[in-house]
Amino acid sequence: MSPLIGITTRPVDAEDRYALSAEYVQAVRRAGGIAVLIPPGDSSPQDVYARLDGLILSGGGDIDPALYGGAAHAEIYGVSADRDIQEIELARIAAAGSKPCMPICRGIQVLNVALGGTLMEHLPDEVGQGVVHRDPDKKVGMSHPVTISPNSLLRTIVGESCSVMSWHHQALRNLGDRLVVTARAEDGIIEAVELRDHPWFLALQWHPEMSAATDPVQQKLFDAFVAACRVWAVANKA
């Protein structure tokens, strides 16, 4: 059985197109899943979620800081009310359910806000330049190591540490309910969280899809996620 993996997309752009990097779809397909794209604006996220075997909340623009009590900042970009509303609701539904979920970059931030957490509005204002989490020209991902906590789902998949591709200027500040930190960068920034008392819920601040085609460690994340979705589908679908 090939599980159905929902992947959220960016909002409509200036050319009237919904957008998503093909790397997400390719990584899911290599793992044996069927990718189903979810554009913003659907009126019933619950109905969408009910048809899936797993969910990826993808990267993209920033969340409206008003949704987490944050402050406006000149570097905040790509805010979409439709996307914020839909993805926050999907995150809450997924956290209350049992299907595997793997939020990525913006996705980990959406999850944190959905569960009552807050964000750092702009990392360079708070942690300096010890680790470069985003290319200043916003053109390429930046590589840096992360250290992974013992006794975590992430540790069982990729080991004690790994090199990741990063492209973000915001990060988690105060954790949302039930979230447990399972990886950090060298500057202390949270790079992964897991959801307490959930069978398979792993959220990543970095972009595993950006290097999964050439880095087996990053592809392992998609392989493990899709395998968990397959197990869920077999157990829960007639």
Whether 168 sits among the annotated catalytic residues: the reply is no
Whether 133 sits among the annotated catalytic residues: the reply is no
Whether 105 sits among the annotated catalytic residues: the reply is yes
3-state helix, strand, coil in the chain (%, to 5): 35, 20, 45
Q: Which residue has the tokens 């999907």?
A: 90
Contacts of 47 (CB under 8 A, 6+ apart): none
Which amino acid would we find at residue 110?
Answer: V
Catalytic pick from 105, 133, 162, 168? 105
CA angle 205, 209, 210 (to 5 degrees): 90
Which amino acid would we find at residue 63?
Answer: I
Closest to 23 (Cα-Cα) out of 216, 213, 192: 213
> Are the CB atoms for 192 and 156 separated by under 8 Å?
no
Catalytic pick from 133, 168, 198, 207? 207
Catalytic residues: 105, 207, 209
